[in-house]
Structure 1
Amino acid sequence: MSRVLIRVLWLMLISGLSLQGCTPPKPVRLGAPIEGYSHTSAAINRFSVNRGGGPNISPYSGGGKQNCCASLPVKWHPGLTVVEWEKDPDPYASANWPPLGTDGYRAAYKLHAAKYTRHRAVVPVARYERLGVVNVHFLPCNQVAVTAGLMMPGTPKYPFHFPQKMQEPATCPES
């Protein structure tokens, strides 16, 4: 082979190797949309997963409303996720308040909001094959369950099968 050809091949090899370092690495974590489900008579005023905010949820409802985003690993591995939320234990109390916009209404709201409770749980995320929507299930006794795969609630392979309406027990077990 000629010296010129050898030099060209050598330069191509070195250039190829140096360009390989310019390829961006695959992400380890991604932001995934967040959806919530309340299986109790309480409303979830706000919640977050790893500091990414989820939508508010009416009692005994959820799904269909997503916020962005919770940071989770692209590839599932054992670990914990932090869920924080604010709960309104009496979401229909305003039906008996004075008219909206009045001093009486503002006073009633202030008394009512003082009864909101705030919670924090560190929980595992159910195993997933591919990262998808982060579903947070709010359960009695301030328990939560989290999944983040591509399966939707109600499908056979979904990891949780909670009834939509669950009653709070008279006493909750100590955590």
Structure 2
Amino acid sequence: MSRVLIRVLWLMLISGLSLQGCTPPKPVRLGAPIEGYSHTSAAINRFSVNRGGGPNISPYSGGGKQNCCASLPVKWHPGLTVVVEWEKDPDPYASANWPPLGTDGYRAAYKLHAAKYTRHRAVVPVARYEELGLVNVHFLPCNQVAVSAGATYPGRPDYPFHFPQKMQEPATCPES
């Protein structure tokens, strides 16, 4: 082979190898939308999953509202957990008896009411998933939380949790 041909082949090989570095790697983690469900009489004023914010949730409701995003691995693995932080209003309908909105009386009532909000943090296992999808956070009695992150959703037979929408708080909760 001629020297010119060898140089051309050598340059093509080097160029091809250097271009391989330009191909983006497959993602190890992705941002997944967050949705929540309150199975109790408390409202969830705000919550987050791995610092990604979820929507506020009325008592005994949820679903239908999504926020972005919780960073999770594309592939589930044993021991996968997320950090869920939330603020809970144990008496979400108290404002029905307050003075009119915008008055000093209203502001005073709100201040007293907001002092009763509770804040919580839990490290929660994530239910096994085959394909990363919507992150569903279920708020249960006794400040328990369950999290799924698959391509299925509540109400489907393949969904990992089947909690009733309305769950009552027990008179006493077990110590955690």
| 1:27-66 matched pairs, under 5 angstroms | 27-66=27-66
Name structure 1 gaps, 5 residues minimum. none
RMSD: 1.2
2:75 match: 75
1:142 match: 143
Provide, for residues 25-83 of structure 1, a one-character-per-residue CA deviation record: whole Å limited to 9, x for no partner: 22211111100000000000000000000000000000000011111111111335400
Provide, for residues 124-147 of structure 1, a one-character-per-residue CA deviation record: whole Å limited to 9, x for no partner: 111111111110000000000001
Structure 1 residue 7: Cα displacement: 3.0
Structure 1 residue 2: Cα displacement: 4.4
Structure 1 residue 4: Cα displacement: 3.4
Q: Which has the larger displacement, 6-15 or 18-27? A: 6-15
Equivalent position SS for 1:161 = coil
Report how many aligned residue pairs link the two structures: 175
CA distance in 2, matches of 1:46, 1:109: 17
CA distance in 2, matches of 1:11, 1:79: 47
TM-score normalised by the chain length of structure 2: 0.95
Equivalent position SS for 1:4 = helix
| Percent identity over paired residues | 95
Equivalent position SS for 1:8 = helix
Name structure 2 gaps, 5 residues minimum. none
